[in-house]
Structure 1
Amino acid sequence: MKTKTVKGNWCRRTTNFGFPSVFLICIFFFLAGFFGSALFSHSQEREDDPRLMRRPRAMLLENSTEEETEYRLLQAGESGDDSITLIPFQVLSWFPRALYFPNFASAEQCERVIEMARRGLKPSTLALRKGETEENTKGIRTSSGVFMSAAEDKTGTLDFIEEKIAKATQIPRTHGEAFNILRYEVGQKYNSHYDAFHPSEYGPQNSQRMASFLLYLSDVPEGGETMFPFENGLNMDGSYDYEGCIGLRVKPRKGDGLLFHSLFPNGTIDPTSLHGSCPVIEGEKWVATKWIRNQVQDD
């Protein structure tokens, strides 16, 4: 006897199942398909929602040793470059705008700068505000340092670093002051301050410090962090102790760089750019600071 074959929708086949069982199976697959479709749609909405894209997420870096990337370079202008310069950076903060540059300089370059600066170190000074004197500002800045221009360095080390800073910031070298190379010994610090000069406190300014680039020349086992207590608008209620070491703190690492902007793009002072140097607890902190102005500096 031949087996009977039932054609049509499998949900209507009743050869082996009773109607209630078949009905429940059909309902199950219908609901599974419905919720699966809804879940996929919700996932796509999350990926496309710009509000969710701001959340921290892992970064995937391509391994350049496995596959070389080809760049189609354009014709450079008279003042441009014929090659691509890769300078990795990390965004530490948007308020203030702060970028971190790992391995910006080599260990040999850092040691060379320290040796050149060591002979000329003097106690660091302050730009005094109205009513301030050297006597009543003692203890605010306790490091020692020396100013040194790239032209004074016959080894070419500072020239190389200065050129790289210009590329990283896209601000011409002519806008930079001479390097201020600083040493912080155990217990030494710099209380919170602004690099920009407010005219109401310092008088009229011919130019303004718009950004600062710090090149850390040494590792510091403990302490010595560059800190931003007002990061993201925190601690701005007037109760902050300017000797405190709180907020965003950047640990000094030999050869790494830190760039932060003191001015907003419209030229006004960013109040969250307040910063300082935490006391060194162990070791010695060396840093080369490049202050960058919004006007060309005289040689």
Structure 2
Amino acid sequence: MTSRLKSYKRKRLGLATVIAFCALCFLIGFYSSALLSQNVSGVRPRLRMLEMMKNGEVEEEEASSMPHGVTGDESVGSIPFQVLSWKPRALYFPNFATAEQCQAIIERAKVNLKPSALALRQGETAESTQGTRTSSGTFVSASEESTGALEFVEKKIARATMIPRTHGEAFNILRYELGQKYDSHYDVFNPAEYGPQTSQRIASFLLYLSDVEEGGETMFPFENGANMGDGYDYKQCVGLKVKPRKGDGLLFYSVFPNGTIDQTSLHGSCPVTKGEKWVATKWIRDQKQE
């Protein structure tokens, strides 16, 4: 009986020791964490930078700002984007501008809309290309828009593309009404078709100013080398399609880094089948624009 009692006491003593040890470890961990989380004198607080968006979740990575040059930015910035294609290089920018900014741009452009024109290739005429582009539009520079919306967008495009604002043409604000479209074409001017060029369009940025109920997608029929045979109908709405959403942006490059034309950058605007489409296009060139 005495030996059983001693064994029981040893077990209770061992259990009490384990509990006390666990409590001590918890307290040490708790206070150590609190001390480490306090601000340390002489250490700058770090900025939080949006790094990636995956499956609807936002991942953040710490980043501190650096000393900058005369023309640089004071702090770290980030513009979320998604790579839609590498052939052609096409990137999608959600929420690039606000709904209010988009509406201000539309209001500015409404009063000057005219039927959209085409840059004609050698041998083409206005009659032979009739129906290729049926939208209406107008050119507006950032300085001509009083609310500052276009200036904001232009500066943001420069950061997104790493190409200075001085290399961009004025914004081409376009409206596509029911049934209107733009057949597949290139934004780059092939000297073999258009003659010698003193400056070349190398990239295009489209800011969608409105939602479109049906149709109106921006299409890339040659994406990843598809449909590049001789039998392709340039009026077809096929290939990679990007649905317009108000405030979103689309960037694609018309030339490769070595300056040669990317044949897969052929693109067009599918017919609007329900609703209306507004878009602001910024063409970016390899030379400074006056």
TM value normalised by structure 2: 0.80
In structure 1, the partner of 2:280 is: 288
* Structure 1, unpaired ranges of 5+: 1-57
In structure 1, the partner of 2:205 is: 213
* Structure 2, unpaired ranges of 5+: 1-53
Name the amino acid aligned to 1:244: Q
In structure 2, the partner of 1:23 is: none
Q: Are residue 187 (structure 1) and residue 187 (structure 2) matched?
A: no
Q: Larger deviation: 73-82 or 198-207?
A: 73-82
Q: Which of the two has greater strand per residue?
A: 2
In structure 2, the partner of 1:204 is: 196
Q: Are residue 101 (structure 1) and residue 93 (structure 2) matched?
A: yes
Q: Is the 8 A contact 2:66 2:75 kept in 1?
A: no
In structure 2, the partner of 1:265 is: 257
Hey, what's the Cα distance between the residues in 2 that align with 1:79 and 1:228? 36
Q: Are residue 246 (structure 1) and residue 238 (structure 2) matched?
A: yes
In structure 2, the partner of 1:133 is: 125
Hey, what's the Cα distance between the residues in 1 that align with 2:71 and 2:155? 13
Q: Is the 8 A contact 2:225 2:264 kept in 1?
A: yes
| Residues 159, 60 of structure 1: alpha-carbon distance in 2 compared, 3 angstrom cutoff | closer
In structure 1, the partner of 2:113 is: 121
Q: Larger deviation: 268-277 or 79-88?
A: 79-88
Hey, what's the Cα distance between the residues in 2 that align with 1:59 and 1:123? 41
**Local SS of the residue matching 2:280:** strand
Hey, what's the Cα distance between the residues in 2 that align with 1:287 and 1:60? 26
Q: Are residue 157 (structure 1) and residue 181 (structure 2) matched?
A: no
Hey, what's the Cα distance between the residues in 1 that align with 2:108 and 2:79? 26
Hey, what's the Cα distance between the residues in 1 that align with 2:166 and 2:282? 12
In structure 2, the partner of 1:74 is: 66
Hey, what's the Cα distance between the residues in 2 that align with 1:133 and 1:60? 48
Hey, what's the Cα distance between the residues in 2 that align with 1:263 and 1:138? 27
TM value normalised by structure 1: 0.78
- For the aligned residues, what is the CA RMSD? 1.2
Name the amino acid aligned to 2:234: Y
Q: How many residues of Structure 1 are paired with residues of Structure 2 in the alignment?
A: 237
Residue 157 (structure 1) shift: 1.0
Percent of aligned pairs with the same amino acid:
70
Residue 70 (structure 1) shift: 4.0
Q: Are residue 112 (structure 1) and residue 83 (structure 2) matched?
A: no
Name the amino acid aligned to 1:274: L
**Local SS of the residue matching 2:83:** strand
